[in-house]
A and B are shown apart, each in its own frame.
Chain A
Amino acid sequence: MKKKILIVDDEPNIVMSLEYTFKKQDFEVFIARDGSEALEILKHHIPNVVLLDVMMPNVDGYQTLKHIKNTDSLKDTKVVFLTAKNKASDIEKGLKLGADKYLTKPFSVKKIVSEILELVT
Chain B
Amino acid sequence: MNNYALITIIVIYLVVLFYIAFLGEKKRQSKWVNNPYVYTLSLAVYCSAWTYYGSVGIAANSGINFLPIYLGPVIAAPLWIVVLRKIIRISKQHKISSIADFISLRYGNSRFLGALVTIICLFGTLPYISLQLKAVSETFEIMSDDSSYVSTTVIDDSTFYVALLLAIFATFFGTQNTDASEKHKGIIATVAFESVLKLVFFLAIGIYVTFYLFDGTTDIYNQISTTENFKELTTLSGVEDGFNWFFLIGLSFMAIFLLPRQFQVSVLENNREKHLKKAIWLFPLYLLLFNLFVIFIAWAGKLTFGSTQNAEYYSLLLPLENGNSFFATLVFLGGFSAVISMVIVSTLALSTMVSNNLIIPYGFLDKFIKNQPERNSKYIKNIRRISIFTIIITAYFFYVSFSKELSLYSIGLISFVIISQLAPSFFIGLYWNRGSSKAAITGIIVGFLIAIYTLILPFTLQAYTGTDDFTQYGLLGIEALKPNALFGIDFLSPPAHAFFWSITFNMLCYSVFSLTSKGNYRERNYAEMFVDSNNFSTLQDSALVWKGEAYVADIKNVLIRFLGEKRATRALTIFFTKYKLPQDTQLADARLINFSEKLLTGSIGSASAKILIASVVKEEQISLVEVLKILEESKENIVSNKVLLDKSNELSQLSSKLKDANEELISKDKQKDEFLDTVAHELKTPITGIRAATELLMDEEDDMPKEIKAQFLKNILQDSDRLGRLIHNILDFEKLETGRLHLDMQYQDLQKTIQKAISSISQIAAKKEVKILNKNPHAFNTNYDEDRILQVLTNLLSNAIKFCTAKTGQIEIDYKLGNQVMEISVKDNGKGIPEEDHKFIFDKFYQSQDQNTRKPQGSGLGLAITKQIVEKHNGKIWAKKDVKNGAILVFTIPFK
Indicate if the CB atoms of B849 and A17 lie closer than 8 Å. no
**With A13-B715, A14-B688, A24-B702 in contact, is A109–B855 under 8 Å at CB?**
no
Indicate if the CB atoms of B708 and A84 lie closer than 8 Å. no
The answer to whether B692 has its CB under 8 Å from any CB of chain A is: yes
Q: Which residues of A contact B677 (CB under 8 A)?
A: 87
Give, as a whole number of angstroms, the nearest-CB distance from A28 to chain B. Answer: 19
Chain B residues 784 to 798 lying within 8 A of chain A, measured CB to CB, are: none
Partner of B693, one of A17, A55, A84, A105: A17
The answer to whether A114 has its CB under 8 Å from any CB of chain B is: no
Partner of B692, one of A10, A18, A33, A57: A18
Indicate if the CB atoms of B855 and A16 lie closer than 8 Å. no
Q: Which residues of A contact B851 (CB under 8 A)?
A: 57
In chain A, what residue has the closest Cβ to B693? Answer: A17
The answer to whether B854 has its CB under 8 Å from any CB of chain A is: yes
Q: Which of B276-284, B571-579, B679-687 contacts A (4 or more CB under 8 A)?
A: B679-687
A55 and B695 alpha carbons, distance in the complex (Å): 24
Indicate if the CB atoms of B849 and A11 lie closer than 8 Å. no
A50 and B718 alpha carbons, distance in the complex (Å): 27
A11 and B685 alpha carbons, distance in the complex (Å): 8
Chain A residues 1 to 56 lying within 8 A of chain B, measured CB to CB, are: 10-14, 16-18, 20-21, 24, 33, 55
Indicate if the CB atoms of B692 and A110 lie closer than 8 Å. no
Indicate if the CB atoms of B681 and A106 lie closer than 8 Å. no
Q: Which residues of B contact A20 (CB under 8 A)?
A: 696, 704, 708
Question: What 1/0 flags go to B834-849 for Cβ under 8 Å of A?
Answer: 0000000000000101
Indicate if the CB atoms of B855 and A13 lie closer than 8 Å. no
Q: Which residues of A contact B494 (CB under 8 A)?
A: none
Indicate if the CB atoms of A17 and B689 lie closer than 8 Å. yes
Indicate if the CB atoms of B684 and A13 lie closer than 8 Å. no
**With A16-B712, A57-B855 in contact, is A105–B702 under 8 Å at CB?**
no
A103 and B674 alpha carbons, distance in the complex (Å): 21
Give, as a whole number of angstroms, the nearest-CB distance from A110 to chain B. Answer: 7
The answer to whether B632 has its CB under 8 Å from any CB of chain A is: no
Q: Which residues of A contact B708 (CB under 8 A)?
A: 20
Indicate if the CB atoms of B689 and A55 lie closer than 8 Å. no
The answer to whether A108 has its CB under 8 Å from any CB of chain B is: yes
- Bin chain A's interface residue count: 20 to 34
In chain A, what residue has the closest Cβ to B680? Answer: A84
The answer to whether B691 has its CB under 8 Å from any CB of chain A is: yes
Indicate if the CB atoms of B687 and A106 lie closer than 8 Å. yes
The answer to whether B528 has its CB under 8 Å from any CB of chain A is: no
The answer to whether B719 has its CB under 8 Å from any CB of chain A is: yes
In chain B, what residue has the closest Cβ to A85? Answer: B681
Give, as a whole number of angstroms, the nearest-CB distance from A55 to chain B. Answer: 7
Indicate if the CB atoms of B685 and A105 lie closer than 8 Å. yes
Question: What 1/0 flags go to B102-144 for Cβ under 8 Å of A?
Answer: 0000000000000000000000000000000000000000000
Indicate if the CB atoms of A57 and B689 lie closer than 8 Å. no
Indicate if the CB atoms of A106 and B684 lie closer than 8 Å. yes
Chain B interface mostly: helix
Q: Which residues of B contact A16 (CB under 8 A)?
A: 693, 711-712, 715
Indicate if the CB atoms of B854 and A14 lie closer than 8 Å. no
In chain B, what residue has the closest Cβ to A13? Answer: B689
The answer to whether A58 has its CB under 8 Å from any CB of chain B is: yes
Partner of A12, one of B712, B849, B854: B854
Q: Which residues of A contact B719 (CB under 8 A)?
A: 13
Give, as a whole number of angstroms, the nearest-CB distance from B675 to chain A. Answer: 15
A33 and B851 alpha carbons, distance in the complex (Å): 11
Q: Which residues of A contact B680 (CB under 8 A)?
A: 84
Chain A interface mostly: loop
Q: Which residues of B contact A55 (CB under 8 A)?
A: 681
In chain A, what residue has the closest Cβ to B695? Answer: A109
Partner of A110, one of B685, B687, B695, B711: B695
Indicate if the CB atoms of B854 and A17 lie closer than 8 Å. no
In chain A, what residue has the closest Cβ to B708? Answer: A20
A62 and B847 alpha carbons, distance in the complex (Å): 19
Indicate if the CB atoms of B695 and A84 lie closer than 8 Å. no
In chain B, what residue has the closest Cβ to A84? Answer: B684
Give, as a whole number of angstroms, the nearest-CB distance from A101 to chain B. Answer: 17
In chain B, what residue has the closest Cβ to A55? Answer: B681
Chain B residues 694 to 743 lying within 8 A of chain A, measured CB to CB, are: 695-696, 702, 704, 708, 711-712, 715, 718-719
Q: Which residues of B contact A12 (CB under 8 A)?
A: 854
**With A12-B854, A14-B692, A16-B711 in contact, is A105–B718 under 8 Å at CB?**
no
Give, as a whole number of angstroms, the nearest-CB distance from B596 to chain A. Answer: 79
Q: Which residues of B contact A18 (CB under 8 A)?
A: 692
Partner of A84, one of B688, B696, B702, B850: B688
**With A106-B691, A107-B691 in contact, is A14–B685 under 8 Å at CB?**
yes
A47 and B81 alpha carbons, distance in the complex (Å): 98
Q: Which residues of B contact A84 (CB under 8 A)?
A: 680-681, 684-685, 688
Question: What 1/0 flags go to A79-112 for Cβ under 8 Å of B?
Answer: 0000011010000000000000000011111100
A86 and B693 alpha carbons, distance in the complex (Å): 21
In chain B, what residue has the closest Cβ to A83? Answer: B681
In chain B, what residue has the closest Cβ to A104? Answer: B684
Q: Which residues of B contact A87 (CB under 8 A)?
A: 677
Indicate if the CB atoms of B689 and A14 lie closer than 8 Å. yes
Indicate if the CB atoms of A105 and B688 lie closer than 8 Å. yes
A81 and B712 alpha carbons, distance in the complex (Å): 24
Q: Which residues of A contact B688 (CB under 8 A)?
A: 11, 14, 84, 105-107
Indicate if the CB atoms of A17 and B702 lie closer than 8 Å. no
A69 and B708 alpha carbons, distance in the complex (Å): 36
Partner of A107, one of B692, B696, B712: B692
A57 and B860 alpha carbons, distance in the complex (Å): 14
Indicate if the CB atoms of A106 and B847 lie closer than 8 Å. no
Indicate if the CB atoms of A17 and B684 lie closer than 8 Å. no
In chain B, what residue has the closest Cβ to A54? Answer: B681
Q: Which residues of B contact A21 (CB under 8 A)?
A: 692, 696
A109 and B847 alpha carbons, distance in the complex (Å): 29
A12 and B853 alpha carbons, distance in the complex (Å): 12
A110 and B699 alpha carbons, distance in the complex (Å): 10
Indicate if the CB atoms of A10 and B855 lie closer than 8 Å. yes
Query: Counting chain B CB atoms within 10 Å of each CB, which of A11, A13, A16, A106 scores highest?
Result: A13
A33 and B689 alpha carbons, distance in the complex (Å): 15
- The 3 A-B residue pairs whose C-beta atoms are closest, nearest first, are A17-B692, A13-B689, A84-B684
Which of B's residues lie within 8 Å of A, judged by CB? 677, 680-681, 684-689, 691-693, 695-696, 702, 704, 708, 711-712, 715, 718-719, 847, 849-851, 854-855
A-B contact pairs, 26 of them (CB 8 A): A10-B854, A11-B685, A11-B855, A13-B718, A14-B692, A17-B689, A17-B692, A17-B715, A20-B696, A20-B708, A21-B692, A21-B696, A33-B854, A57-B849, A57-B855, A84-B681, A84-B685, A84-B688, A87-B677, A105-B684, A105-B688, A106-B684, A106-B687, A107-B688, A109-B695, A110-B695
Given pairs A13-B689, A17-B695, A106-B692, 18 additional interface contacts (CB within 8 A): A13-B693, A14-B689, A14-B692, A17-B693, A18-B692, A21-B692, A33-B854, A57-B847, A57-B850, A57-B851, A57-B855, A84-B684, A85-B681, A105-B684, A105-B687, A106-B684, A107-B688, A108-B691
